[in-house]
Amino acid sequence: MEINKTNINLQISNAKKGLQTAFNFLLDHFWNDVYRFQLKRVKNEYEAEDITIETFSKAFDKIKTFNDHYEFGTWLITISKNIQIDKSRKKNASIYAQSTNDSEEQVKRIPDDSPTPEDKLITKQNLAELLGFIKQLKPHYQDVINLRYFQEMSYSEISEKLNEPLNNVKVRLLRARKLLAEIIKENLEN
């Protein structure tokens, strides 16, 4: 599929309707742009990754407010920049109190209707081989994969266990599944 402005706008429209494939497309297509932007700013890959996850979490939560007259990538970068500035201010001011507005906002759910191809691979793969592939992921991705698929926790339970907002858990799991699928595919092709 050719990726152009029309296709991106279609995916944004589908995401506004709550289609999981659209969220996956947007995450896949814009992840590297947001991550590289943050990596240049914070110069720490873990912090850049966390901010990128928060960016997509917030963007997916607010997707219905996105104005199609603007560039989606620019909107994401703006959200990302604002998250990073907020984190820097809190860090510099040494304020460690939890001060999120998540409880005041309605958290829109990313649909989790049916198993994705990655889910099917995870359940069908040889366990020893699968564990080897999972160990190639960064530790925080290993954690969400383990909690979701081996301990069979719900998103809410994972959110509580990791003390992370629900949308952050969803985005992190989306990213972990994508990376795991790439590792599996690469190893099966070799």
Helix axes 166-189, 127-134, angle to 10 degrees: 120
| Contact predicate 145/134, CB 8 Å | yes
Q: Token pair of 46, please?
A: 């873990």
Class at the top of the CATH hierarchy for domain 5-92: mainly alpha
d(CA 182, CA 157): 27
**In this predicted model, what pLDDT tens digit does every residue of 97-119 receive, in sequence order?**
444 444 444 444 455 555 556 55
pLDDT reported for residue 1: 55
pTM of the model: 0.62
| Contact predicate 75/59, CB 8 Å | yes
| Phi and psi, residue 17, nearest 5° | -85, -5
d(CA 45, CA 25): 23
| Domain layout of the chain by residue ranges | 5-92, 117-189
Task: Provide the b/e sequence for 85-102 (b: ≥16 CB within 10 Å).
Answer: eeeeeeeeeeeeeeeeee
Q: Token pair of 155, please?
A: 């998103």
Handedness of CA 83, 101, 20, 129 (dihedral sign): positive
- Whether the predicted pLDDT of 123 surpasses 80: no
| Contact predicate 8/72, CB 8 Å | yes
Architecture category of domain 117-189 in CATH: Orthogonal Bundle (1.10)
pLDDT reported for residue 154: 87
pLDDT reported for residue 68: 85
Average pLDDT over residues 120-136: 70
- Whether the predicted pLDDT of 153 surpasses 70: yes
Most distant CA pair in the chain, distance: 50
Residue 43 zone, left/alpha/beta (φ > 0; ψ -120 to 50; rest): left
pLDDT reported for residue 88: 83
Higher pLDDT, 153 or 106: 153
Q: For residue 78, what pLDDT band results from cuts at 50, 70 and 90?
A: very high
